[in-house]
């Protein structure tokens, strides 16, 4: 391969990365246009190539792939369909259709759940395909997205997310940057319209709220407050919402897309933000990562998931927060990509949620949206759930149970007697979504096992 292009280089080098061969070189000034002779070679090049400007000259990088990777398309398709089913069942709970106790969900239940599962699947698919398409453009050996289904009984979302595998190393900062930023940008292109359309079908109420969380969902007889971000505040204002918002399933999917983007853009190790910040700052990325990692520790007082993320960053980095080195880190990003990197930083700031998810029993509140809702039967908190509430710093409060069905036609039942056990307390959700291995990890409620441990 190098023998064809070597006459056009002042100097060059050849690198073999698994099934890829890469030739990069400083092009002679008379061919840097490129010259007609070099242009003819590039027009017939069997692979990918790109130009870079550095050191007062023009560099040419040519990538040749010996054979395209073989994929088990049936496996990826099957995982996607199973994940669509599990998220549909989870979404039915957000649509007040989750009371179908049969083993096989009814058609009505599935139809209601699709309002959540289809937009969420589109957001996750767009994110992962963003990484995949750009990686394959650079001939990086990358897999198709793997979707991870999870039982809706143990996961609020019905999935652990999705990931792609990168089976060969990345060559330079440009490749690292483009692959890293493509996922968050592609995901947000889908998530923002989904969020706005979802807010148009959501309901503003005058009910109680929590700090930094002015929207909520009701599922499995529990109220989950979802965190605020600058983007969420702006979207609510654009759609004319005030007070606290009961999100529709479509809006919940959009909110999850915003959270996924924010978590991915943390500038830690192998996260998308770690790739982007290393491409921008080089070895200085490690100092940025350390500062953000230390900031996660006090944030864990608001949301336990931040401590999970801090531990996960160390686990993936084998005790280090810095990004692994790449083959050719010496060339800086172009001004255009540096401006795009600034956009990624702004995107992280506007999507960041200090307190993404919280559960709180609000005592003695009768809000307008609750007057049309029917409390379910009270369930005494198990020892494990009481322990989980104490660990999270939120001991169960006494008062009227917020375990509610979204049934406008239901007859209101009497309030819970004073001192009676309140509704079921649910543990917090913890979401993890990475670039190379990027599941939306939901540390769900393992009540029975915890009960055995506590008792």
Residue 293: is its pLDDT beyond 60?
Answer: yes
Q: 372-394 pLDDT, tens per residue?
A: 333 333 333 333 333 333 333 33
Name the residue among 364, 379, 372 with its Cα closest to residue 412.
372
- Confidence category of residue 140, pLDDT binned at 50, 70, 90: very high
Least confident of 270-279, 335-344, 422-431: 422-431
Name the residue among 450, 452, 429 with its Cα closest to residue 441.
429
Query: What is the per-residue pLDDT for 336?
Result: 94
% of the chain exceeding 90 in pLDDT: 39
Least confident of 54-58, 115-119, 295-299, 394-398: 394-398
Residue 344: is its pLDDT beyond 80?
Answer: yes
Residue 118: is its pLDDT beyond 90?
Answer: yes
Give the span between the Cα atoms of 36 and 4, in whole angstroms: 15
- Confidence category of residue 314, pLDDT binned at 50, 70, 90: confident
% of the chain exceeding 70 in pLDDT: 75
**Contacts of residue 92, Cβ cutoff 8 Å, sequence gap at least 6:** 98, 100, 105, 109, 110, 112, 113
Packed helices 249-264 and 73-94: angle between N→C axes, nearest 10 degrees = 120
Residue 366: is its pLDDT beyond 60?
Answer: no
Q: 243-269 pLDDT, tens per residue?
A: 889 999 999 999 999 999 999 899 988
Evaluate whether 366 touches 400 at the Cβ level (below 8 Å). Answer: yes
Q: 152-211 pLDDT, tens per residue?
A: 666 778 888 888 888 888 899 999 999 999 999 999 999 999 999 999 999 988 777 777
For the chain, what are the domain ranges?
2-65, 72-406+419-455
Phi/psi region, residue 269 (left: phi>0; alpha: psi -120 to 50; beta: rest), is left
Query: What is the per-residue pLDDT for 101?
Result: 53
- Confidence category of residue 1, pLDDT binned at 50, 70, 90: low
Residue 443: is its pLDDT beyond 50?
Answer: no
Higher pLDDT, 100 or 279: 279
Mean pLDDT of 34-44: 90
Sign of CA dihedral 136, 141, 144, 149: negative
Query: What is the per-residue pLDDT for 7?
Result: 85
Query: How much is the pTM?
Result: 0.76
Average pLDDT, the chain: 77
Q: 184-199 pLDDT, tens per residue?
A: 999 999 999 999 999 9
Query: Residues 280-285: contacts with CB within 8 Å, 24+ apart?
Result: 280/177, 280/333, 280/338, 280/341, 282/173, 282/329, 283/322, 285/322, 285/323
């Amino acid at each position: 391969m190098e023998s064809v292009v070597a006459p056009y280089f002042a100097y060059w080098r050849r690198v073999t990365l698994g099934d890829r061969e890469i030739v990069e070189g400083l092009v002679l000034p008379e061919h840097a246009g490129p010259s007609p002779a070099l242009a003819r070679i590039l027009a017939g090049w069997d692979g990918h190539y790109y130009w870079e400007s550095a050191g007062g000259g023009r560099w040419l990088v040519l990538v040749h792939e010996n054979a395209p990777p073989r994929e088990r398309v049936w496996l990826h398709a099957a995982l996607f369909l199973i994940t669509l089913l599990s998220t549909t069942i989870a979404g039915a709970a957000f649509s007040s259709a989750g009371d179908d106790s049969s083993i096989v969900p009814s058609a009505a239940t599935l139809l209601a759940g699709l309002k959540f599962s289809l937009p969420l699947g589109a957001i996750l698919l767009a994110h992962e395909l963003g990484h995949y398409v750009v990686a394959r453009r650079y001939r990086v050996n990358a897999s198709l997205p793997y979707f991870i289904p999870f039982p809706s009984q143990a996961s609020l979302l019905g999935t652990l997310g999705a990931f792609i595998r990168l089976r060969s190393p990345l060559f330079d900062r440009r490749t690292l940057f483009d692959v890293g930023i493509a996922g968050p940008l592609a995901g947000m292109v889908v998530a923002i319209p989904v969020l706005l359309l979802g807010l148009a079908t959501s309901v503003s109420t005058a009910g109680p709220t929590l700090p930094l969380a002015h929207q909520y969902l009701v599922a499995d007889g529990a109220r989950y407050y979802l965190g605020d971000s600058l983007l969420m505040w702006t979207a609510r204002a654009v759609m004319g919402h005030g007070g606290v918002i009961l999100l529709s399933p479509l809006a919940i999917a959009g909110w999850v897309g915003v959270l996924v983007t924010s978590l991915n853009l943390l500038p830690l190790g192998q996260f998308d933000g770690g790739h982007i910040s290393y491409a921008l700052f080089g070895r200085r990325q490690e100092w940025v990562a350390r500062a953000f990692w230390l900031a996660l520790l006090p944030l864990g007082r608001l949301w336990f998931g931040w401590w999970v993320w801090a531990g996960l960053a160390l686990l993936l980095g084998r005790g280090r927060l810095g990004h692994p080195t790449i083959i050719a880190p010496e060339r800086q990003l172009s001004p255009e990509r540096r401006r795009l990197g600034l956009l990624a930083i702004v995107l992280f700031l506007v999507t960041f949620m200090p307190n993404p998810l919280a559960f709180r029993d609000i005592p003695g509140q009768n809000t307008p949206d609750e007057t049309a809702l029917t409390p379910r039967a009270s369930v005494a908190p198990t020892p494990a759930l009481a322990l989980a509430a104490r660990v999270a710093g939120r001991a169960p409060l006494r008062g009227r149970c917020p375990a509610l069905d979204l049934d406008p036609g239901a007859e209101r039942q009497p309030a819970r007697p004073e001192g009676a056990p309140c509704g079921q307390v649910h543990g917090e959700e913890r979401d993890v979504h990475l670039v190379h291995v990027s599941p939306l990890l939901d540390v769900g409620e393992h009540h029975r096992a915890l009960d055995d441990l506590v008792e």
